[in-house]
Amino acid sequence: MRKLVTFISPSVTDLTADAISPSTVRLDWVLPVDSKAVDYYKIYRDGVLIGTSTTTTYDDTTATAVHNYTYGVISVVNYRVESAIVTVVNHAIVPTVPVLTVTVISGTQINLSWTVATVSGGTVVAYKLRRDGVIINGSANALSYINTGLTQNTNYSYTISSVDDIGNESAQSLPKTAKTFDAAPPTVPTGLTATVVSTTQINLKWNASSDNVGVTGYKLYRGATLINGSGSALFYNDTGLTPGTAYSYTVSAFDARNNTSAASAAVVATTDNLIVGKDYTMGAGGLSLTSLKNYLGRSMVLARIGEGVWGNYADDLRMIQNAKPKYLERVLLPFANENLWAGWFTHAKTVIDDIHNIDPDIICGGGLFEYATTLVNNIAIPPYVFTAFGETPVTRNFVHANIVEVTNPIYPTLVSKIPNIVKPEAQKWYYYIGTQQILAGIEGFNCGVIDAITYYDRPLGWINYFKVLGMLRDYAATYARRKWILCGAGGSYIITRGGKLCFDYGGANMHAHGIREVAGVPYNCTLGTGTSGWANSGTGITPSGWTATNRLPYTVSIDNGSSPNPGVAGVNNSWGWDEISWFTNCSNSYRNYWLPYAYNYAKSLWGGGVAFCSMPGKRVINPYIGATQFYCCNTSTNNTLGFNQEETIKALWAAQP
């Protein structure tokens, strides 16, 4: 008896379709493990038989690029029995890539949005948003997302892709990087101080704030009014104020995101009251203490005004008229180059006349300095000099060797340069240069470093220096413009003889008042207790006849000299420069801060009315800055050689007529 056999063809599983080239789609499938042997497979595309295969793979090489197809595979057993068809869709078409926009909202939030994606023959059903490669939103069909809970001041990278209705995902967009905002404000500034400069100016300074990113600047308020809100400087000069008025100030710090600290503690300062009617009387017999203080209170070193390369003469005269100094020191500067002095004396007369046309009360100063070179051998001694010393005039020149001492312990390196006032020839020399300056219109002498000139005269009770200066005062009583010559000097001791003082006033520099570098803050300097001999000058009768009690008034100047190691800390307490060269190399804003600071420091010493800051008008610098050989205070908009302290000086003197 024959048995009927039924054949069942198994269906394929795991059918996949992958585009391996623009025109080829590869199909792969498998059969169940317990399936019967299959003779071959029929391959269909979009319902149409396109080929057969005896293996579990097939390449459709007739496909069209970027096109979706539906493929089917039927297994055939015993060449007659066919399985059910199994289909798969080739995802050759993917959605478009959305365009991503990233917007930082705060330190903890970034908002994202993107354009609508499309797909040919299908529908985009979702978008996958990734942050730093991790999906943070992958199922929604929305076109925006708010990403919160982030860390401030942190970079994040985002991409977006689209997904269609059959699970096809587009490529990811190009990464968009965004940084959350810095939300932390700087620390509150500390140490706010207000220094009254004049009737119309108060200077402010404060300590630096810190910030997690960086401090951009400071906002300074006068009361509720913002008066400076953009600068990063730690000081500000508030000008144009009303005399005798109290002002309250606060300062806050801000960063690049305008995160602003709380305001500092308020400080209050009151501008000086306006003082009018100053006395600038000087005449035969001298000047009063009040008049002397008024002159020293508006003193300025204006070296060699009108001499050749020493600046813009016309603008120097303009500066004098604007700033209104009363005592101009070193208008004549007879120091070295003695062969040129005769011409300087003649020219100085014209310069001094021009100055007095601006203000006849101005004292123009010269010098009797501690220096002489062999060029004095070329200068003839006028007959009147011999006569003044009771000698018969003879025809001869000065003899340098008879003026100087070979060595001087005050300046041991200046061999044969420092006059010895004990020597008769040195006395004649000083008398000659003093009288020539008086004839030129000079009414004040800077007598230099008196310790050096009188080193050999001190054991003699300064009898010789008193003699020479007395002779010059007698000469001034006849020939000087106002019959008086104002004399001052620098040194570590005060010259007195028989209860009488030799000088009208003293002089000192910033080093004598403890100038020192601010560690770690290039070019910044402060002042402290110094060693000036004028700090305790004792009592005595002044040349003008009034008695000085305890202290004689003196000036404090920003001096010149040598610069042993320019710009380097720890050499001479002013960053390796002499004082005026250091000052010149500072920034303009720092110069305009530091000058009032020094002015008020001097003003505060000994209860006030003793030390006076002599303003830097013009002084030689060492070394030169390029082609610039000297500092001058003039406003640079008027004078290209100016360093812009003119208006600061004017403001400091604003209380005086």
Can you tell me the distance from the alpha carbon of 81 to that of 35, in angstroms, rounded to the nearest whole number?
13
Cα separation, 8 vs 78, whole angstroms:
9
The pLDDT of residue 81 is 63
289-652: CATH, from 3.20.20, 3.40.630, 3.40.720, 3.90.660: 3.20.20
- Residue 338 CB-half CA count within 13 A: 22
The residue to which tokens 């059910």 are assigned: 84
d(CA 17, CA 15): 7
User: Of the candidates 567, 574, 568, 504, which has an alpha carbon nearest to the alpha carbon of residue 534?
Assistant: 504
pLDDT of residue 20: 65
Q: Which of 449, 450, 470, 469 is nearest to 458 (CA)?
A: 450
CA dihedral 45, 49, 53, 56 (to 10 degrees): 40
The SS3 assignment for 323 reads helix
Q: In the CATH hierarchy, which fold is given to the domain comprising 193-270?
A: Immunoglobulin-like (2.60.40)
| Residue 7: predicted pLDDT | 47
Q: What is the pLDDT of residue 30?
A: 85
Match 């000085």 to its residue by tokens.
548
Tokens of 437: 């300056």
Q: Which amino acid is at 24?
A: T
State which residues of the chain have pLDDT below 50.
1-7, 531, 533-534, 657
At 532 the pLDDT is 52
What is residue 5's predicted lDDT score, i.e. its pLDDT? Answer: 39
What is the separation of C-alpha 213 from the centre of its chain, rounded to a whole number of angstroms? 20
What CATH code would you report for 100-179? 2.60.40.10
pLDDT confidence of residue 2: 34
CB 163 within 8 A of CB 126: yes
Query: 13-90: CATH homologous superfamily?
Result: Immunoglobulins (2.60.40.10)
Residues facing residue 238 across a β-bridge: 202
Give the domain ranges of the chain.
Answer: 13-90, 100-179, 193-270, 289-652
User: What pLDDT shows up at residue 492?
Assistant: 67
Q: Taking Cα atoms as reference points, which of 73, 106, 78, 77 lies closest to residue 90?
A: 73
Please choose, from the candidates 489, 531, 494, 493, the residue with its C-alpha nearest in 3D space to the C-alpha of residue 510.
531
pLDDT score, position 657: 43
Cα dihedral across residues 544, 550, 553, 555: positive or negative:
positive
What is the Cα–Cα distance from 158 to 102, expressed in whole angstroms?
8
Task: Answer whether 13-90 and 193-270 agree in fold.
Answer: yes
